Amino acid sequence: MATAAEYVSTDEHGVMRVGQTRVMLDSVLASFVEGCSAETIVQQYPSLSLEEVYGAIAFYLGNRETVDAYLDRQDAVWSRAREAVNRSASPVVARLRTAAVRAGIGRP
């Protein structure tokens, strides 16, 4: 009897990865939610096989609550990282951001 392949693993930092690659599950799911086909996702992430992409999507669909909670945690991590970068921006970056806001192309 064959055992099921492990299509999603969690690394030492708690990040869900597709198969044995460094591709984050978040990335594959973002493409999937945007309507990309599994074939298109493979084109976007050539280190993944079609089987791994379908497996990752099936994992998400079968474990939606767990994955959604993980994605919420990831969103919080990225938000904190963006805030830290914004707080420690160099004077040049700060001037550019201010100029972009004044020009109506940036956000405050």
pTM of the predicted structure, to 2 decimals? 0.73
Fold of 8-62: Arc Repressor Mutant, subunit A (1.10.10)
Domain boundaries, the chain: 8-62
Rounded distance, CA 98 to CA 107, Å?
A: 9
Q: Which residues contact 73 (CB under 8 A, 6 or more apart)?
A: 14
pLDDT (tens, 9 = 90+) of the chain, 108 residues, equals: 444 579 999 999 999 999 999 999 999 999 999 999 999 999 999 999 999 999 999 999 999 999 999 999 999 988 898 888 777 767 888 788 889 889 888 776
Q: Which residues contact 102 (CB under 8 A, 6 or more apart)?
A: none
